[in-house]
Structure 1
Amino acid sequence: MQKAVRLTGFGIYSLLCIGVAGYAFYFLQMPVNPHNDFQQKLLASGWEVPLHFYASGLALLLIPLQLSRLIRKRWLSFHRYLGVVYALAVLTGGVAGLVMAFNASGGWVARLGFTSLAVLWLGTTTLAVKCAIERNITRHQVWIYRSMALTSGAITLRLFLGLGLGVFQLPFLTVYVPTSWLSWMLNLAICEFILWQQRRSVVA
């Protein structure tokens, strides 16, 4: 029963990763809505927007493969290769996201939220790579889980925006500003709880 629940959760999470990554790849090709100021602002921006969308989408797309126990056990070299691609995607998407954060809608609160996300995203991924190079697999897993939790902020962001704008019909900035923080803080909190449970089960 527990295994079935875990596999179901992993399947749903994988579909969300694929769906949001696909949206990121498609976003810049979407028809321009003249009444959507946010879309027009993004499309009028410079190199950082396509770089962030494509690189971050790639990082998100790789998460289910990186989490696959089957790949790690049978094709370790492939897992390591994907890890290098993931790290490069985060580096590219994180730097571009940091540039975007300085001009984010919603004033300094939203800008600080997205800047914090970009810095933590780059930092956790760097530490995960460092631990992998040092063959400290236990610490590598801890830091890569945190990195993936932050990568998944793209999923949480869109869920919150869809709920706030689509379901509750709230004004854009009313939803967007708190989401600039909640989209990644919630993921990180859940990740830390899971890591705490894992440490407790090992001790027990």
Structure 2
Amino acid sequence: MVTANPLPLKERNATYAAKTLTYAAAIWLAVATVGQWLFGIYILFFYGKATITGDFERWNDVLPRGYVEGDWKGNLIIGAHVLLAAILVIGGPLQLIPQIRKRLPHFHRWLGRIYVVSAIVVSTAGLFMLWTRGTVGDATQHITNSIQAIYIVLFALLTIKYARSRQIAKHRVWALRLFMVVNGVWFFRVLLMGWLVINGGPVGFNPKTFTGPFLTVLSIFTYAIPASLIVLELYWYAKRKQNSRLSFVTSALIFLCTIITIIGIFGATMGMWLPRL
């Protein structure tokens, strides 16, 4: 009986490496989805309950000067920012699920429209909050946060542009980039809480002033030079090159990011989100 020759070792390794890379990305997305939905539920319950009961002062437990009595315009902007942020963290992962794109194309398109508009509104409202009402942190955190807002608006416009011109491949590339920068605040909180869990408390920063070298580095690589974008671009590069070693290294990096994300989600859930509900 004649059997087909097995694939050469190099080709088998390349195939295995490509599958590992795909699995690594899928696992990270699943973990991130759970974390973002937990964050979204927290936003809806915390701010929703405070708003419905008229206890607007409770906003200030999280957002310094989030509610200012008599400033209805500013308060309205803050409220819109928070509500749309919940839409972003809950709706964003839904846009990345292939089954939804294929089986519910109309839902995907309408949610996409809501998502990009919400991203622009949230980022501009965030700038308003940052530079008119003030927030915790130092100048570096404020500047890097502002840079992130510019990324969000630019990437959102490019996502819309390529969707309207039916350049779907480019549209998906920019939509993924938008997803990464939109979640800068989520990444910042998750990584901060992961750092606290790993170190057993604040290390490298002053929790009272919310300043210090760790927060400076974290804000730079979360907002101004987003590490999430760097990993995404490396993932795409590895997919294109189809080099086994590069794919395995990239997969290992993504798995490491997944572990850190899990620790951070646990820390944020137990340390910030659940206690405030």
Within a 5 Å distance, the mapping from 1:52-63 to structure 2 comes to 52-63=81-92
For 1:24, the equivalent position in structure 2 comes to 43
Contact preservation (8 Å) 1:125, 1:147: yes
The one-letter code matched in structure 1 to 2:66 is L
For 1:66, the equivalent position in structure 2 comes to 95
The one-letter code matched in structure 2 to 1:200 is K
How far the C-alpha of 1:176 sits from its partner, in A, is 4.2
Within a 5 Å distance, the mapping from 1:84-103 to structure 2 comes to 84-102=113-131, 103=134
Give the whole-Å Cα distance in 1 for the aligned partners of 2:40 and 2:140. Answer: 26
**Relative to structure 1, is the Cα distance of residues 40 and 128 closer, same or farther in structure 2, using a 3 angstrom cutoff?**
closer
Higher relative contact order (CA 8 A, sep 6+): 2
For residue 41 of structure 1, give the secondary structure of its aligned residue in structure 2: coil
For 2:147, the equivalent position in structure 1 comes to 116
Contact preservation (8 Å) 1:52, 1:93: yes
Give the whole-Å Cα distance in 1 for the aligned partners of 2:90 and 2:84. Answer: 10
**Relative to structure 1, is the Cα distance of residues 74 and 37 closer, same or farther in structure 2, using a 3 angstrom cutoff?**
closer
Q: TM-score, normalised by structure 1?
A: 0.83
The one-letter code matched in structure 2 to 1:190 is V
How far the C-alpha of 1:92 sits from its partner, in A, is 1.5
For 1:180, the equivalent position in structure 2 comes to 219
State yes or no: 1:190 paired with 2:258: no
Within a 5 Å distance, the mapping from 1:152-167 to structure 2 comes to 152-165=183-196, 167=200
**Relative to structure 1, is the Cα distance of residues 71 and 18 closer, same or farther in structure 2, using a 3 angstrom cutoff?**
same
Residues 187-196 or 40-49, more deviating:
40-49
State yes or no: 1:169 paired with 2:210: no
Contact preservation (8 Å) 2:81, 2:122: yes
Give the whole-Å Cα distance in 2 for the aligned partners of 1:84 and 1:39. Answer: 28
Give the whole-Å Cα distance in 1 for the aligned partners of 2:61 and 2:149. Answer: 23
The one-letter code matched in structure 2 to 1:142 is V
Q: Percent of aligned pairs with the same residue? A: 21
Structure 1, residues 92-121: CA drift from partner, whole Å, max 9, x if none? Answer: 211111212323432321111110011101
Give the whole-Å Cα distance in 1 for the aligned partners of 2:121 and 2:227. Answer: 24
Give the whole-Å Cα distance in 1 for the aligned partners of 2:61 and 2:94. Answer: 36
The one-letter code matched in structure 1 to 2:28 is G
For 1:137, the equivalent position in structure 2 comes to 168
How far the C-alpha of 1:148 sits from its partner, in A, is 0.2
**Relative to structure 1, is the Cα distance of residues 43 and 169 closer, same or farther in structure 2, using a 3 angstrom cutoff?**
farther
How far the C-alpha of 1:154 sits from its partner, in A, is 2.7
The one-letter code matched in structure 2 to 1:114 is N
The one-letter code matched in structure 1 to 2:86 is G
For residue 66 of structure 2, give the secondary structure of its aligned residue in structure 1: helix
For 1:49, the equivalent position in structure 2 comes to 78
For 2:158, the equivalent position in structure 1 comes to 127
Structure 1, residues 115-153: CA drift from partner, whole Å, max 9, x if none? Answer: 001110111011011100000011101111100001222
Contact preservation (8 Å) 2:63, 2:135: no
Unaligned stretches of 5+ residues in structure 1: none
Q: TM-score, normalised by structure 2?
A: 0.63
Give the whole-Å Cα distance in 2 for the aligned partners of 1:190 and 1:6. Answer: 10
Structure 1, residues 51-87: CA drift from partner, whole Å, max 9, x if none? Answer: 2222122112112210111111122122111111111
Contact preservation (8 Å) 2:64, 2:135: no
**Relative to structure 1, is the Cα distance of residues 140 and 51 closer, same or farther in structure 2, using a 3 angstrom cutoff?**
same
